[in-house]
Amino acid sequence: MVKRIAVLTSGGDAPGMNAAIRAVTRTGIYHGLEVYGVEHGYAGLMDGQFVPLTLHSVAGIIQHGGTMLKTARSDKFKTADGFNQAVGSLQRMSIEMLVVIGGDGSMAGAVKLSQAGIATMVVPGTIDNDMPGTKYTIGFDTALNTVLEAVNKIRDTAASHERVAVVEVMGRSAGHIALMAGLACGAEVMLLPEKPYDIRDICAGLDKSYKRGKLYSIILVAEGAAKGYDIADQIAVSTPFKPHVTVLGYIQRGGSPSAFDNIMGSRMGARAVEAYIAGSKDQLIAFEHGDILTKDYHAALSERKGIDYAIVDLAGILSM
């Protein structure tokens, strides 16, 4: 009997997920495994939405954002009924190992499957870069570049009109996107959920910069810290500035993956299969100290993933 493995993508899609699907498929086939894709994440798993993946079926996908397997968020999978349905689907298909490509919620699902005796491997994929156990999640770099490109454009018009521009970015309850994009685009202010702020300090800072001759400013607001429109309103009532607001929204999740995300997707997807063939299971494929390694879920979950406060300090100095 040829061994069967399966792969799914779950939670928010992220550029580079296709590279990971391709790498799982081709590495599996190279090692003599049969590979199945599960469409629509855990929702599709409960319904048994398996599709055979071949060398050909993953051709021509690496350059595209999103995920060719589609994705979903499923509350039903979190219930006992839904979960048992998913386990049943995997058993009926004789799947020996499932690769889950997704964020921390998706990893929580994979951990539960492993506790029920289903071998799993997690490839970290989310633009938020907020997973414990790994310094990098696939999609983050592309999202940062999307924010950078957008803010560069917003800066042109903010400079021309001598305005304050408030830009709200994604990241759920974490500030990694706002912080690193803020450093990359030279934002004057970054509001992060991890760092309490006082709107009076922000207004005073804008005033001071203006008096020094800085006639426009970029304020990046992480969605987990505040709403961009609320920040603009608060600035407008306390200062002479009338900020304009851009909520970047879903543009941050789409687009062709950066070279880095396709390299990470390819390496991490391949590593998930290679580690399984070498006898590991129930591991997060992690990025640490410039290297890709495997970590058991217990070790990964015991780590806290915070923002890098040295970068917060640096960004503060550079935006003076």
Count of alpha carbons within 13 Å of 106, Cβ hemisphere only? 32
> 16 or 243, CB closer to ligand ADP?
16
Our CB check for ligand F6P shows the closer of 130 and 282 to be 130
Strand 50-53 to strand 34-38: parallel, antiparallel, or no bridges (unpaired)? antiparallel
Residue with tokens 């060398």: 55
Q: Which of 16, 19, 171, 12 is nearest to 103 (CA)?
A: 12
Minimum gap (Å) between residue 56 Cβ and ligand ADP: 29
Using CB atoms, what's the residue nearest to ligand ADP?
105
Residue closer to ligand F6P, measured from CB, 175 or 243: 175
Give the rounded distance of the alpha carbon of 105 from its chain centre.
11
The minimum distance between CB 116 and ligand F6P, in angstroms, equals: 25
CA angle 102, 186, 134 (to 5 degrees): 25
**73, 61, 48, 56: which is closest to 21 by C-alpha?**
61
State in angstroms the smallest separation of the CB of 9 from ligand F6P: 12
State whether the Cα torsion 234-155-192-203 is positive or negative.
Answer: negative
Looking at the Cβ atoms of 60 and 306, the one nearer to ligand F6P is: 306
Check if 296 is active-site.
Answer: no
Instruction: Please tell me the distance from the alpha carbon of residue 110 to that of residue 107, in angstroms, as a whole number.
Output: 5
In the complex, which residues of this chain contact ligand F6P (CB under 6 A)? 11-12, 73, 103, 126-128, 170-172, 223, 253
Name the binder of 4 from ligand F6P, ligand ADP, none, CB < 5-8 A by kind: none
With respect to ligand ADP, which residue has the nearer C-beta, 78 or 153?
78
Instruction: For the beta carbon of residue 292, count every other beta carbon within 10 angstroms.
Output: 17
Binding site for ligand ADP (CB under 6 A): 10-12, 42, 73-74, 77-78, 102-106, 108-109, 112, 126
Q: Which of 13, 128, 130, 261 is catalytic?
A: 128
109 binds, among ligand ADP, ligand F6P, none (CB under 5 to 8 A by kind): ligand ADP
d(CA 106, CA 10): 6
Q: State in angstroms the smallest separation of the CB of 228 from ligand ADP.
A: 22
Bridge-based pairing of strands 119-124 and 4-9 is unpaired
| Cβ 213 to ligand F6P shortest distance, Å | 36
Give the one entry of ligand ADP, ligand F6P, none that residue 104 binds, where binding means its C-beta sits below a cut-off of 5 to 8 angstroms depending on kind.
ligand ADP
> Among 62, 56, 51, 244, which Cα is nearest to 166's?
244
253 binds, among ligand ADP, ligand F6P, none (CB under 5 to 8 A by kind): ligand F6P
The residues annotated with a catalytic role in the active site are: 128
